[in-house]
Amino acid sequence: MTANSRCSAAEPPGLETQRREIESLLRECELRAGDSWYVVEHRWFEQWKEFVDGGDQNSSSFPGQIDNSDLFEDLDSYHLKERLVENEDFVLVPAEAWHKLLAWYGMVDSQPPLERKVVDLPSTLKVEVYPVEVFLCLHSNMENVITAQFSRTDNIQSIQRAMCQSFSVPSGSECRLWMKSSDTNCERLRNIHMSVLDTCLSSGMVRTHCDVTDMTSSAQIDAMTSSHQNSVEDQDSYRGQPGVCGLTNLGNTCFMNSALQCLSNTPPLTEYFLQSSYLEELNFTNPLGMKGEIAEAYADVIKQMWSGRHYSVVPRVFKTKVGHFASQFLGYQQHDSQELLSFLLDGLHEDLNRVKNKEYIELRDADGRPDQEVAEEAWRNHRRRNDSVIVDTFHGLFKSTLVCPECHKVSVTFDPFCYLSIPLPVSKERVMEVFFVSLDPHAKPVQHRVVVPKAGKVSDLCLALSEMTAVPPTQMVVADVFNHRFYRIYSDDESLSCILDRDDIFVYELSVLEEQDQVLLALYLRERSHYRDYGSGSSSYGTTLFGHPLLLNVRRSSCTADELRPSQTELSCSETSTNSRSDDTATAAPPPDINHKQPSLDRGDTETCTESHNQTEPRCITDASSTPADNAIPSGDSTRSADANVDLEPAAEPSESTEEEKEENKQEEACSPSPPPNEQPAKRRACHKRRKSLFTIQAVNSNGTTERGTGEGGSAVSFSSLTFPVNESRFSAAQPYVAIDWDPDMKKRFYNENEAEKYVKHSSMEVPQQQATVQLQECIELFTTVETLEEENPWYCPVCKKHQLATKKLDLWSLPEVLIIHLKRFSYTKFTREKLDSIVEFPLSLSNGEPPSCYDLIAVSNHYGGLRDGHYTSYAMNKDNGQWYYFDDSKVTFATEDQIVTNAAYVLFYHRQDKMRKPTLANPSTGPAPSRSANDITSCKDDDAELGAASYVTMETD
């Protein structure tokens, strides 16, 4: 018996007690360094909450055992998937809450608990969901690599100890650790007392090379040290174009590299740092600043990038400083380049603010004064408190006009801005991909692509699908299928925003029944294990879900234990056909179609054992022309095939009955209909002896597990509490679920899993989706459109003396030397998160009238991919030679102007034409970029996991 099995045997308290205890622990438990918290799969936890909120111990929302399967890349290594999101993919619970849940529900066998420690990081306490994975190896044997995990609070010495222990390094040997980055640069980790966090080690970045030599071989070690420091690039001898320099990816830091490349190619800011002007303006006393540390770290990166001596720079110190002062950028998760840019501009401004003591300034109302006068006053007031190179370069003024809807009071203010965040026109329609499951038992599921209103309801989805299938929307039901079960069955009036693009949505066609008293029956497929699970405290078989679940429209009178049992054994006297195939696969009678007529769950639908008019002996109906693959069992022809075989129990070859089969025969004979009076008992026994059930029927909960208190063949199949007809309300908390439990041998013999997973594509899937295209000017106009304030953010009207939902309009009053435009591609609402992939056609020269409103594009930050993953790169024009380059972390290549406008463009940098100076160098000829094979990253894919896998730490011993 496993520990998990022991835990599952504990009797939990009442649902209200469970809810109260766990909620109390989640609410009151604080993060403390060193404490353990546990990772729990979000869907399971949400189902548990629904279960305990329902107040019914036998609720269909019973969550079953704790199952974290969806969090793992595979179930062999139990390695966590990358980029899991808290409260979307998983939840964190304190140790006490975890142990309670484990004792009440148990855990899926063999799964390890995901225990994680609370670490004390700079300025924050955090549960370390992803420890740092480090590759360790000897310098003398690079092929023998060991993976070890370390907390970010561990010091380098702990890595050294683990390395010595793993490779049996002799005691007394002198060890030297080297960190090898993705572009093959090596850095000596001299201070073994520094933390993993401070050295910016990330998963996949550390490989320890260890040389074990005599103490007299120090010269050899020094030679190797020198070669490591210079790296294979021999950067001391390299001379290249200043600014044309890559940035090493430290592990999911492409967002930072993209922002840095854009700022690096902003001429006024870069020249300010290259000329060391910042040294005289560092502000070490500003309480809003970072004591000059961010400015100094940024200056160091810029000077290296513009030295012309490096193919690529490792911004490790800069990354560390950013993490110290902005905890959201700690660790190595993917972040937003615009968010990093916003933090960096603000941090540089405060570190370089020439105003040492900010005075208090009381703002005056416009009070009817001319806009020009009010604007100049606002700008003067802003500069009295904020005066830096960032303000000089990037700050402009908005004109904000508010109008009270009641008294029509007009309030005009002028507010500074550092960049524009402008919205993209959002389509009112949405494209969804769904699978339609027809009533036709031989039809495979069909994948459709439908266009629905973005703010529509599930009924709109059914209506759109109806136009393609000619099936009335009233005969459709929509469900989210997850792990072979229904994660959610939607009602017609639910919002489509509840359905995410990544959900597997199935739309089932329902049969039309004349009776009003109908039930929407959910049907699961399960495979029984060969052995009973005596260890769990019951004698029932263990089961595993498989295949696609089904939804059926059936009469309520058919959904009882009495109706299910007889229909389950009606075919118990089917004999093997004398004409059966040589491979011993028995033929069987074609099953009744429960979708198009009265369901075969009802008693007496099919007469199987009948008496021949010409014979005195009973015979069993067989059809030598029909095979199990065609008629008897679910196969690739349809996920619906299972509907048509609820009654089927085909014959099998004669064999000796086991004790378990004898017991089953007793139970089945007890509930079988009475045999014809002239049937001979010996013949009947022989028929039962040959028969082996294809499957049995069991009432289950929505999770696909047997209801509590209901064993195999139990009597809890009762839906008498349901009173609604299907056509009025097809869904309720008491949604009935039934499982067909297959015998393993029968499943292997008759169920074709490969065929069952197949589907066909509708012609709508072949139609290419039109790429939406908008003009930059449209986005700016949308940004300056009049809007009404939201209820969460009202305006206090000084005339009405109360908060009002005023109308607001923003206008661009004065523009800065460098205009940064952030395209708001990421949309977040209460229910949805999406990325807008529209192509924004932005000009290389932006003009809004006469100078100084004319700008030239100088840099673009790009984002490829979706919300939860992706990759950042950048285009930028070198200030010295006017050539465009494409920066992809360490890789730098030539670019042309026609490559720049793509649907990946995220942040745009424009430089005012009257402030630009002509390039001092000739534009290099276009063609292949200089060869940099040691630094090249050959893919723009979801980036950073691949990049990290190529980086290491080196260790050597004397």
> Partners of 399 in the beta sheet?
414, 811
pLDDT number for residue 672:
43
Burial state string for 403-414 with b = 16 or more CB within 10 A and e = fewer than 16: bbeeeebebbeb
Per residue in 557-613, pLDDT (tens digit) is 777 656 655 645 443 333 333 333 333 333 333 333 333 333 333 333 333 333 333
Neighbour count for residue 618 (Cβ, 10 Å): 19
Asked whether residue 822 is domain-assigned, the answer is no
Look up residue 107 and give its DSSP letter: B
Tell whether 561 and 700 lie within a shared domain.
yes
- Which helix H or strand E contains 503, and what residues bound it? none
Tell whether 194 and 161 lie within a shared domain. Answer: yes
One domain, residues 79 and 147: no
Tokens of 439: 């009533």
Q: How far apart are CA 637 and CA 442, in angstroms?
A: 5
Catalytic, 254? Answer yes
Could you tell me if residue 84 is inside a domain?
A: yes
Among residues 71, 96, 119, the one where a domain terminates is 119
The pLDDT of residue 892 is 94
Q: Is the dihedral of CA 527, 760, 866, 454 positive or negative?
A: negative
pLDDT at 849 (0 to 100): 59
> Does 813 fall in a domain?
no
Q: What is the pLDDT of residue 61?
A: 76
Domain closes at, from 746, 765, 784? 765
Amino acid at 476: M
What's the predicted TM-score (pTM) here? 0.59
**Buried b or exposed e, range 726-750, using 16+ CB within 10 angstroms:** beeebbeeebbbbbbbbbeebbebb
Number of domains making up the chain: 3
Q: Are residues 442 and 557 in the same domain?
A: yes
Position 816 in a domain: no
Q: Which residue, among 118, 113, 110, has the nearest Cα to 39 in the 3D structure? A: 113
pLDDT of amino acid 608: 36
Whether residue 882 lies inside any domain: the answer is: no
Pick the last residue of a domain from 189, 213, 237: 213
* Residue 452 forms part of a structural domain: yes
Cβ-contact 297, 200 below 8 angstroms: no
Domain CATH code at residue 203: 3.10.20.90
Is 97 in the same domain as 186? no
Mean pLDDT of the chain: 75
For residues 830 and 44, what is the distance between their CA atoms, to the nearest angstrom? 21
Q: Quote the pLDDT of residue 904.
A: 92
Q: What strand order describes the sheet that includes 175-180? A: 186-188, 175-180, 952-957
Neighbours of 611 (CB within 10 A): 13
Q: What local confidence, expressed as pLDDT, does residue 657 receive?
A: 45
Give dist(CA 766, CA 605) in Å, integer. Answer: 43
Q: For residues 405 and 605, is the Cβ–Cβ distance under 8 A?
A: no
Percent of the chain with pLDDT over 90: 36
pLDDT number for residue 616? 33
Catalytic member of 139, 822, 863, 871 = 871
Is the domain of 103 the same as that of 166?
no
Q: Is 204 left (phi over 0), alpha (psi -120 to 50) or beta?
A: left
Q: What is the DSSP string of 261-322?
A: HHHHT-HHHHHHHHTTGGGGT--SS-TTS-TTHHHHHHHHHHHHHTSS--SEE--HHHHHHH
CA distance 154 to 195: 5
- Mutual orientation of helices 15-28 and 95-105 as an angle, nearest 10°? 160
HSE-CB for 948 with a 13 A CA cutoff:
24
pLDDT digits (tens, 9 = 90+) for 402-442: 999 999 999 999 999 999 999 988 778 888 999 999 998 88
Range(s) of the domain holding residue 113 = 25-119
Task: Please check whether residues 454 and 559 belong to one and the same domain.
Answer: yes
- What are the backbone angles phi and psi of residue 179, rounded to the nearest 5°? -105, 120
Q: Domain check: are 433 and 514 in the same one?
A: yes
Query: Which residues of the chain are modeled with pLDDT < 50?
Result: 1-9, 183, 206, 208-235, 534-539, 567, 569-658, 660, 666-677, 686-689, 708-733, 927-958
Mark whether 87 and 158 lie in a shared domain.
no
**Residue 35: which CATH number?**
3.30.2230.10
Query: How far is CA 693 from each of CA 451, 564, 584, 646, 798, rounded to the nearest angstrom?
Result: 45, 15, 16, 11, 81
Tell me, rounded to whole angstroms, the distance of Cα 132 from its chain centroid.
Answer: 20
Would 187 be classed as within a structural domain?
A: yes
- Kindly state whether residue 909 falls inside one of the protein's structural domains: no
Do 554 and 433 lie in a common domain? yes
DSSP 926: S
The reply to whether 151 and 86 lie within a common domain is no
- 254, 404, 609, 797: which is the annotated catalytic residue? 254
Rounded CA gap, 765 and 433, in Å? 8
Tens digit of each residue's pLDDT (9 = 90 or more) over 282-313: 999 899 999 899 999 999 999 999 999 999 99
Same domain, yes or no: 70 and 197? no
